[in-house]
Amino acid sequence: MFRVKVPATSANIGPGFDSLGIAFNLYNEFEFSEVNGGINFYGFKEEFSNTDNIVYKAMEICFEKCKYKPKGLKIGLVNENIPISRGLGSSSTCIVAGLLGANAIMNNPLSIEELFKLGVEIEGHPDNIAPAFFGDMIVSVVEDGEVYYNKINIEEGLSFIALIPKFELSTSLSREVLPAQVNFKDAVYNVSRVSLMISSFISGKFDLLKYCCKDALHEKYRSPLIKNYNLVYNKCMDLDALCCFLSGAGPTIMAIIKNDNKEFLEKLNTFIKDENIPWSIKELSIDNLGATTVFKGGTNER
């Protein structure tokens, strides 16, 4: 049996639309075994315990790539810490886990780079898939069907605060509200800010984040879908957050603070409670490893 652990991810980081992502120390864990027959799911909600399961679909693609036909499978979700449809990469954890689990069952015929490319093909873009596989903050692009990426080493001194609404927001809905075209001014706005933002993370000049971690391509279209967005966003900035951004397609808002901003969490929790806003708050740090696979013993029948 193999255990696969995949980190939560946050895409875009403000102006880095569909190209930037970061991995956090919040994880989903899955188990995989090949058995003599049948397909058995455990740990998943009933609605996901069937062959439409994203994990299983990813496994199928990996098996087909290698022309491998398992006799049967046991697929388990043993630790679910990443909420579904909240902009924290839950679907990417399923894709990455399915690919790694299938590859492990086949005794790893595919390299991590080959699995990564398969993951991008399934997801459609690399912003969540890249940090889920490799950890850290990653910038990635697709050129002529090939995926190119590079890690960004962020200086120490930051905490990431996820403000997670109780309601779900589907990626498909949040994509539908985006315009088919953007104007030149908005494109320049984002290009300049994402460039300065990356340099700020690398250099440790974190005070620049309040000016460059801003977006003109997607947040103004998606934020109206999120009740209390402006209220929560503005409060975070009032409490001296360096910046706030919509995590992926939302509805989670991510705030970045300096580690010495000791009162931020207490005051924000009080505000959320006093305003009766049904959101949860998690303090996160960067995951540097990405997804991991461990053989847990027991049988893996062939």
Binding residues: 83-93
- What string of DSSP letters covers 22-36? EEEEEEEEEEEEEES
Of 274, 255, 251, 277, give the one whose Cα is nearest residue 264: 255
CA distance 1 to 165: 35
Binding site as annotated, residues for ATP: 83-93
The token pair that represents 82 in the structure block? 């990443």
Spatial CB neighbours of 263, under 8 Å, sequence gap ≥ 6 = 239
- CA–CA distances in Å: residue 142 to residues 29, 120, 145, 148, 188: 28, 9, 6, 6, 20
Cβ neighbours of 52 (radius 10 Å)? 9
CA distance 290 to 156: 18
Residues pairing with 280 in the sheet: 164
7 DSSP 8-state letter: E
Unique residue bearing structure tokens 């995590």 = 247
- CA–CA distances in Å: residue 241 to residues 79, 112, 165, 211: 31, 36, 19, 12
Spatial CB neighbours of 179, under 8 Å, sequence gap ≥ 6 = 221
